[in-house]
Chains A and B, each alone.
Chain A
Amino acid sequence: MSAILQAHALGKRYGQRQALADCTLEIPPGHVVGLVGPNGAGKTTLLKIACGMLAPTTGRIEVLGEQPNGATAQLARVGYVAQDTPTYASLSVADHLKFGAKMNPGWDAKLAQARVEQLGLNPKQKAGKLSGGQRAQLALTVAVAKRPELLILDEPVASLDPLARRDFLRYLMESVAEHDTSVILSSHLVSDLERVCDYLVVLVSSRVQLAGETDDLLAQHHRIVCTRRQESDLPEGLQVISAEHTDRQSTFVVRSERALPAGDWSAEHLELEDLVLTYMERPVVHGAATAMQPTGEAR
């Protein structure tokens, strides 16, 4: 199957403000994709464009092979849960299930019912009276029960307590395992992403800084500590992501597709959180920053 999301030079502008710039992505299916970046980086904008809520100002995007134009065929294949997991406060849990059934021909009523029971939700209770975690679970149930091929979740666990967060992610993973759904979820909490995401997209200052399978990315990056030297002193084939120097010592974070050559340094892999932070802290690189680049091009 082709990519679940393909974007080419995607951009979105609001008046003077550039919310998203020059995004090029090709995300393969069958993954749980983590979209991470600081607040205001453009995560919500990208996700809204992907589900068809917003139209881009430049570039193009295809989701599941089609442009997200709001036609019913596309709407049936993509599920979306917005930030703060909105639900109808005056409608009960059972009403929400009925809502899903009426609005989606592909609704799986058994699945929805089973899930509500498993969660221990009272069907008659109004959604406005549920706790934050319960509301999030309800919103997720509604999105999952229409059996989409792709689920897009915008910071679904940001305002949940740790227990609710864990429950939500467990249910999400269970759905993914059962239905083979692809997921794109955004977060600014890397620790959550580490467990559930196997594909990572780092968005900083409206641009994609890094994209790839998590295992590959972790294998490709190293932290090198050595005596004080210039970037150009490093062997070829290493892309320098960040550099720190004291008067005696240099610390580089480098990326290389091949195995790291031997050298007079100590090298170790980074934790996912460190990796993301490194990319978030470096000055914004314009142009395709996701592909490999020879030494010295990073500014």
Chain B
Amino acid sequence: MIWLTWRQFRAQALTVLVLLAAAAIVFLVTGLRMHHSYAADLAACAPLHACDGATPAARALGAQIYQLQRSYEPMFMLLQLLVIAVPALIGIFWGAPLIGRELETGTHQLAWNQTVTRTRWLAVKLAVVGVAAIATTAIFSWLLTWWAGPLDQLKGDRWAAMTFASRDIVPLGYAAFAFALGTTLGLLLRRTLPAMAITLAVFVAIQILVPALVRPHLLPSTTTTFPINQASTSQFHGFSGSQTEFHFDLPTPQGAWLTSQPPVQNSSGQVVRIEDYSGCFPGLDGGGQGDDPDLGQIGACLAKDNLHQTVTYHPASHYWPLQWMETGIFLVLAGALAGTCFWWIRRRQN
């Protein structure tokens, strides 16, 4: 049975092997070069934020590092997209035809009448191709996580939706899920193409919905309320605003994931505008941003109005727990889908 699964999977496996090899070369060649440049730039200025420091030399180095990041930005986005796409492609090209194609062409009638039970047939197929799916995704994820190391540090944003979903272990959960989803749809619909299409649609929907609706709520987040007065605003890093609202850049812990940043509100919870307090914002009328104005002074001016601004965030320490939880959730879903497949196979209603 393992021989049969491999023999049927052979062409797809070789295709992916070739693609993986090509990708690995791209990753390695560009990655080594980038890591080298980064290390060289970094060596020239010790801790990162010191590169934004006061001396022209430090600032020049800072600009150079920033240039490094910008030059790799397009490739960064592309490779992230690739690693996010890998589970989807696996679900579509490995999952949907796994059982779907057999049902479509009738070859299941050939397989199910040999001296192998259906359950074993399904189990071996799922196991062999499933393991291949997770291994392939793991390699891609590992390559990207290594490759993007310096850029992730520079950008300081591991929490961006595309970034979180393409690093470390989360892609494995997605791979297992997409594969199981494709297989189940192929089994239930008995047609490969519709199964492929629906798998893609569901996957895209999940990539859009999970970061916004699910991920933030997997662990309790912290909400801090900052009163607007001189003491607090002198700690802030800047502010920005529009016609209808404004907010300050609050001093949140480094590496935190800001999940909710409502604008400045008054004590009754209403959003307030710059022009309501135009006296405290000299030289600006209803629009603009800048950290040139003295924030402490603005705060002193606004103190009497009892304003506040809240922010909700996950600290940096939540990164790995959230990775594990999200991976776990999708592994469980994959298991449930696989269970559905086994149940359906045993029903013999054809």
Interface residues of A (CB under 8 A from B): 48, 51-55, 70-72, 75-76, 78-80, 82-84, 86-91, 95, 98-100, 102-106, 139, 142-143, 146
Contact: B105 with A89, CB < 8 Å? yes
The answer on a CB contact under 8 Å between A72 and B117 is yes
Binds A, one of B27-35, B106-114, B152-160: B106-114
- Identify the stretch in B3-11, B45-53, B198-206, B277-285 within 8 Å (CB) of chain A at 4 or more residues: B3-11
Whether the pair A54, B115 counts as a contact (CB closer than 8 A) is no
Shortest B1–chain A CB gap in Å is 7
B110 near A88 with CB under 8 A, answer yes
B118 at the interface (CB under 8 A from A): yes
> Which residues on A sit within 8 Å (CB–CB) of B113?
51, 53, 75, 78-80, 143
Q: How large is the interface on B (under 10, 10 to 19, 20 to 34, 35 or more residues)?
A: 20 to 34
User: Does residue B213 face the partner (Cβ distance < 8 Å to A)?
Assistant: no
A87-B106 Cα distance, complex, nearest whole Å = 8
Q: Write the B97-126 contact mask toward A (1 if CB under 8 angstroms, else 0).
A: 000000001110111111111100000000
Q: List the 9 closest pairs (A to B, CB-CB), nearest first.
A: A103-B114, A82-B109, A86-B106, A80-B113, A76-B115, A55-B348, A104-B115, A86-B107, A75-B115
- Whether A72 lies near B350 (C-beta < 8 A) is no
Report how far A274 CA is from B116 CA in the complex, Å: 42
**Contacts of B115 on A, CB cut-off 8 Å?**
72, 75-76, 103-106, 146
Q: Contacts of A106 on B, CB cut-off 8 Å?
A: 115
A16→B96 CA distance, assembly (Å) = 30
Contact, CB under 8 Å: B109 / A53? yes
Which residues of chain A come closer than 8 Å to B1, judged between CB atoms? 102-103
Would A86 and B109 count as touching, CB distance under 8 A?
Answer: yes
Determine which of A52, A55, A72, A142 lies in contact with B110 in the assembled complex, contact meaning CB atoms within 8 Å: A142
Q: How far is the CA of A91 from the CA of B106 in the complex (A)?
A: 15
In the complex, chain B residues whose CB is within 8 Å of the CB of A53: 109, 112-113, 348, 350
**Residue from B3, B107, B110, B116 having most chain A Cβ neighbours under 10 A:** B110
At the interface, yes or no: B349 with Cβ under 8 Å from chain A? yes
The answer on a CB contact under 8 Å between B7 and A91 is yes
Contact B117 A71 (CB under 8 A): yes
Q: How far is it, in angstroms, between the C-alpha of A53 and the C-alpha of B8 when the chains are bound?
A: 22
Q: What residues of A have a CB within 8 angstroms of the CB of B112 in the complex?
A: 53, 70
**Closest residue to B113 on the A side, CB-wise?**
A80
What are 12 A-B contacts with C-beta separation under 8 Å?
A53-B112, A54-B350, A78-B113, A80-B109, A80-B113, A82-B110, A83-B106, A86-B106, A89-B105, A90-B8, A102-B4, A142-B110
The residues of A that contact B348 with a CB separation of less than 8 Å are 52-55, 70
5 more A-B contacts (CB under 8 A) besides A86-B107, A103-B4?
A: A75-B114, A80-B113, A99-B7, A99-B114, A100-B114
Q: Check if A103 sits within 8 Å of B116, measured CB to CB.
A: yes
Q: Mark B332-350, 1 if CB is under 8 A from A, else 0.
A: 0000000000000001111
Bound complex: CA A82 to CA B107 (Å) = 9
Alpha-carbon distance A90/B105, docked complex (angstroms)? 12
Give the chain B neighbours of A104 by CB distance below 8 A.
Answer: 114-115
Could you say which residues of chain A place their CB within 8 Å of the CB of B350? Answer: 48, 53-54
B107 contacts across to A, CB distance below 8 A:
86-88
Residues of A within 8 A of B349 (CB): 54-55
Q: Are B106 and A84 in contact (CB under 8 A)?
A: yes
The CA-CA distance from A82 to B7 in the complex, in Å, is 22
| Closest Cβ–Cβ distance, residue B58 to chain A (whole Å) | 63
Minimal Cβ-Cβ distance residue in A for B119: A70
Nearest chain B CB to A278 CB, angstrom units: 33
Complex interface bits, B213-244 against A, C-beta within 8 A gives 1, otherwise 0: 00000000000000000000000000000000
* Residue pair A95, B114 in contact (C-beta under 8 Å): no
Q: How far is the CA of A84 from the CA of B106 in the complex (A)?
A: 9
Contacts of A70 in B (CB 8 A): 112, 117-118, 348
- Residues on the B chain within 8 Å of A89, using CB: 105
Q: Are A75 and B117 neighbours in the complex by a CB distance under 8 Å?
A: yes
A79 to B105, CA, bound (A): 19
The distance in angstroms between the C-alpha atoms of A71 and B111, with both chains bound, is 14
Distance in angstroms between the alpha carbons of A104 and B115 in the assembled complex: 5
CB distance from A141 to the nearest CB of B (A): 12
Closest beta carbon of chain A to B129's beta carbon, Å = 16
Task: Point out the residue from B4, B109, B116, B347 that lies within 8 Å of A75, measured CB to CB.
Answer: B116
- In the bound assembly, the distance between CA atoms of A231 and B349 in angstroms comes to 45
Q: Which of B4, B107, B114 counts the most chain A CB atoms within 10 A? A: B114
CA distance A91 to B5 in the complex (A): 12
Task: Tell me, in angstroms, the Cα distance from A143 to B111 when the chains sit together.
Answer: 11
